[in-house]
Structures are given as structure tokens and as C-alpha cells.
Chain A
Amino acid sequence: MTNPATPADELRAAVRRIVADALDRPLSEVTPSSSLIDDLGAESIDFLDIQFRLESALEVELGEEELYGGRLDFADPAVMTDGRLTAEARAELERLQPDFAWHRFPEAIRSADLPRLITPDSIAAALVDTLEAQAGAAAEAGSRDEEAR
């Protein structure tokens, strides 16, 4: 007997479907840990397309920074030095984005390599964060309205 799908499972499945459609790939080829670029042939314009499809289907606004793990300032020398991710930043990004395709980059990661880390599950994780943040903001706004009344 299998456990019923959780909302997070459904979200991951939806992301895989959207990625498969956008990249014209059979769903079976799109695994949770496929690198969109290295495994599925995505190009830069495909990320714009996927972002639009996700936002339209899920009614969420997904910023580019969320896709890349957010919260890290890649212009900060403590994050990027000589065009490569520092060890400390990598450790922090691995904590924030455990679903990135880290196995592809055993050595230092260049900034140009960052998009190659993105996987369907890392997108789903970013969406979960974004949806939770939106729900929190909406609840907070509701409380303020309630207090005002």
C-alpha cells in the first residue's frame, strides 16, 4: 500500500510535467534530479519559458533568485572569488538547495555553472519556499486587517 501523495509530492510532479513540456521531453526522461541543462538540453530562454509556465499554472511569482537558491549575494567576495563559489558559500548553498545537481561539480563551481545545478526538485523546493512565504505574508496581512477592524 502506498502513502497518499502530499501537496509537496504533487508540486514536484507538476514541475516535472511542466519541465517535460517546455523542453519537449518524455516525462520518463525528466527525473527529479535531472540537470535541466546537462541532462535535458535546456537553454537560457527555456528558463524564462519554464518560469512563465510555473507562474501561470501555480499562480505564484517566482523570482530568478529563488531558482538559484536565493539569499546568497553572488556579488559578495565572500560568496564568489575569482569567478568561483567559495567553499563557505557552497556549504551554505548546499544547505539551502540540497536538490541541486551537486554531484556534477566535485570541484569549485564557476558562476557560469550555477544554472547547470538546477533540477526539477530544486525548482519544486524553491516553489515550496515561495508559496510558504506568500501564504505567511497573506496571513500577516489578514491579521492586520482584522486588528484594524
Chain B
Amino acid sequence: MVALRAMPPPTSNRAPGRRPVVTGIGLITPLGVGLEETFQALRHDGATGVTAGATRTRLSRSTQQPAWRLAIPHFEPRPFFHTPKSVKLTDRKTQLAVAAAELAVRDAGISDDDSRDALAVVLGCSSSDVDTDGLGRAVARSAGDVTSDIPAFAEAILKGLNPLWLLVNLPNMVSAHVAIQQRSQGPNWTVMTDWIAGLQAIGEAAAGISTGELDWALAGGADCGTPVFFAACYGQDGALGENGRGLVLSEGAAILVLESEEHARARGARLRGSIEGFCCRASGAENGAATGLRGAMCGALADAGWCGADLDLVCRAAVDHRSFLDEERTLVAELFAASRRPPDTLELRSSLGHALGASGAIDAALALRFLGPRPGSGRALCNALGYEGQAAALAVATESTTSEERP
């Protein structure tokens, strides 16, 4: 058993004034467009706040959707685009990213007059579904083997696809379109580590702010797991179970405005919280998720300079596939067994479904909201788990409502 009290000392290389703070949150989930909409729906749906022990929320089934899918109802992207014609150049996950970014910018009080020259965009997502609906139609009208003959492929397949297909499906489009719509000219990259991508994007952006590489950033995740293509692929892996088990594929986006504390204070921004630590690990050649997740959790806590007893909340990745769910539960119980006051836990997959690369970022946004402003600040650890032992953990904190220090 590894007790979190035995962790190494903090290894932060943060420069003075470079604490990465959260000044804006943009969230879109199947339960609502906006942080408060989702938060209130979760409370209404059964997650009546954070309680001791596991809070496993119920799956909302107010809409007619197949059991494997939980989509956002009635999402209209155009109001979030400054140039609505660009909507046709975007797939669903990019539209969600653009919308969440706009919500985050509004929440952070960033005006059109504020310079965006140094504003970075760091977003995570999984792979594109390559518009399999359109691709399928193009393939269906072709005849013969066109897989080894480029001119034949172009004639048989590409002529059936809109010439914009490539632009829509390039892997950098999520971050690129957010930068276009937000007029951001700062560093820009897309993290594509699948299910841990959104959490990793926040961690990388926060690290960039800590070291002085970035001043501020739009960071988070956006993804769409609802196309039939994904269901078919995950179905082949046995991920879409029956009888209330298995993945429920969903979609969503969560984007945070991260700034160095001095940057945020200079522009008079309200502080919603901070990113205190991050770590990404893998399980190596060992089977299962536990080794990678243990390393990530311990690493993030060490990066934050926290011990297990400092935590108020653990937001589990809660991926109901293979042995992930049981491994994570066992690990969290084991890690905090020595704590005098074990943290509360939160599992959101059963309410929000699995929005693939966006899930970790969605959890981080909601963890900040569930903690809320409180005396002495609140502290949470958010987990993300990917296939083949890849894991990430992010340590977040809310601002204290008083000047008192945590005990």
C-alpha cells in the first residue's frame, strides 16, 4: 500500500507571481450549456452536492436517445461564432470547443478590446470520426478496389466528398478554430492523448504559465463520441455493455481561462480557483490502469505540495470499461486509507456519459464548482484514464473566502 503522506516534497519550479489561476469557465454537457446549467441539473438529477463517500449520479434520460449515446439536445453553434460561415468548416467537437471558449471568455470578463496577441489555446480531444457518414456514402458509390491506386481513389471516393472534408477533419482544427474565433495569436497546440487529452491540456497550459512560457491561455477539452462510428468501434471492444454497465458515449466541452496570478490581478479579473499540480503517467508493461494512475495521482499531489489529507474531493475518471472502474475505486480507497479524513469522491460519467477527450476537463470544471468558494479554500484531485495504462491527474483549488489558512 502506498500512503500519500509518504510522497516526495514539492518539485514546483514556479516563478513568483506565476501561480496559474482560473478566471473563467466555459462548459457544455448533455445536461446544459453553461457551468451553472450543468451543475444545477446534476444536483436536480441526484448529485445533491458532494457527500462523503462515492457520489454516483444517476444517468439523465429525459431525451429519447439510444442507451449507448447521450448527446447535447438542441445545440446551435452559430451564436458562438463571430464568423458564422466558418461553422461549415467545423465538426461537432470543434463547434463545442468554439462555444465553450466563448462562454469561458465571457465568464472571465474578457472584452473585445482586450488584446489577444499573447492568448494561448491549448485543447485536448480524441481522434476525428473523419465524417464517417459522408465517407461511407462516398465509398458506397464506388466500385472495385481503389485502395492501392491514387487516381482511382480520387475519382471514386474523393469526388463524392465535399472538398472541404480535409479542412474539417484535420487534427489541429479544434485549437485552430478557437484561435480564429477568439482572435488569439498566442501559442496554439492540440493535445491528442485520447481520453486524458482534456485534462492534460489544462495541465500543460498551467505548467506553461508557471514557467513563464505563457501569460494566459484557453485550456481544456472538447470531444464528440456520439457518431455511430465510435459506437461501432467501442462496441467491438465490448465497451458498450448492457444492464446499466459499460460506456455511455457522450459529447461536451470544458474550457478554462488560465492566467498567471499577476496577469489576472493586473486586469482585475475574479479568481475562480487555481491549478496547483499535474502529472501524467503510464503503466508501462504492466497490465491494467492502476500503476499509471497511482503514479499520476501521487505526482500531481507532489507537484501541488499537498498530502492526501489536504484533499476535500477526488473526482474519479469512473470509466466503466474493462477493469478501469474497479481498479480506480480500489486504488483511491487504498491511497487514502491512512488519511484521518478521507476526501469525498465524485463520479460524473454516470450522469454525463463519457465525452472521450473532454471528460477530464469537464470533471475539472465541475470539481471547482462543486467545491465552491469556502473558508481556507477547497482542494480536489481529478483523474483521467486512457487505454493501455495512460493516466493523468490534476490538482485544483478554489480561492478562500477568508484570509484564514488551511489547517
Q: Are B163 and A24 within 8 A (Cβ)?
A: no
**Residues of B contacting A24 in the complex (Cβ-Cβ under 8 angstroms):** 78, 84-85, 87-88
Contacts of A49 in B (CB 8 A): 88, 162-164
Closest B residue to A45 by beta carbon equals: B164
* Secondary structure dominating the interface of A: helix
* B118 touches A (CB below 8 Å): no
Cβ 8 A contact of A45, one of B84, B87, B163: B163
Is the beta-carbon distance between A48 and B84 smaller than 8 angstroms?
no
User: Per-residue 0/1 for B69-83: is the Cβ within 8 Å of any A Cβ (1 yes, 0 no)?
Assistant: 000000000100000
A52 touches B85 (CB 8 A): no
Does A93 interact with chain B (Cβ within 8 Å)?
no
Interface size on A (CB < 8 Å)?
A: 11
A45 contacts across to B, CB distance below 8 A = 89, 163-164, 167
List chain B residues, Cβ under 8 A from A52: 162-164
Residues of A within 8 A of B167 (CB): 45
Q: Does A98 sit at the interface, judged by CB under 8 A?
A: no
Q: How many residues of B contact A (CB 8 A)?
A: 10
Q: What separation, in Å, do the CA atoms of A23 and B86 have in the docked complex?
A: 9
Question: Considering only CB atoms, which chain B residue lies closest to A46 in the complex?
Answer: B85
Q: How far is the CA of A57 from the CA of B265 in the complex (A)?
A: 55
A51 to B87, CA, bound (A): 18
How far apart are the CA atoms of A23 and B164 in the complex, in Å? 13
Q: Binary interface profile of B, 88-112, with partner A (CB < 8 Å = 1, else 0)?
A: 1100000000000000000000000
Interface string of A1-36 (1 = CB under 8 A from B): 000000000000000000000111000000000000
- Per-residue CB contact flags for chain A residues 44-63 toward chain B (1 = under 8 Å, else 0) read 01101101110000000000
Contacting residues, chain A, for B85 (C-beta < 8 A): 23-24, 41, 46
The smallest beta-carbon distance between B89 and chain A, in angstroms, is 8
Kindly provide the distance from the CB of A59 to the nearest chain B CB, expressed in whole angstroms.
Answer: 12
Give the interface of A toward B (CB within 8 A).
22-24, 41, 45-46, 48-49, 51-53
Given A24-B87, A45-B163, A52-B163, list of 18 further CB < 8 A pairs? A22-B88, A24-B78, A24-B84, A24-B85, A24-B88, A45-B89, A45-B164, A46-B85, A48-B163, A48-B164, A49-B88, A49-B162, A49-B163, A49-B164, A51-B163, A52-B162, A52-B164, A53-B162
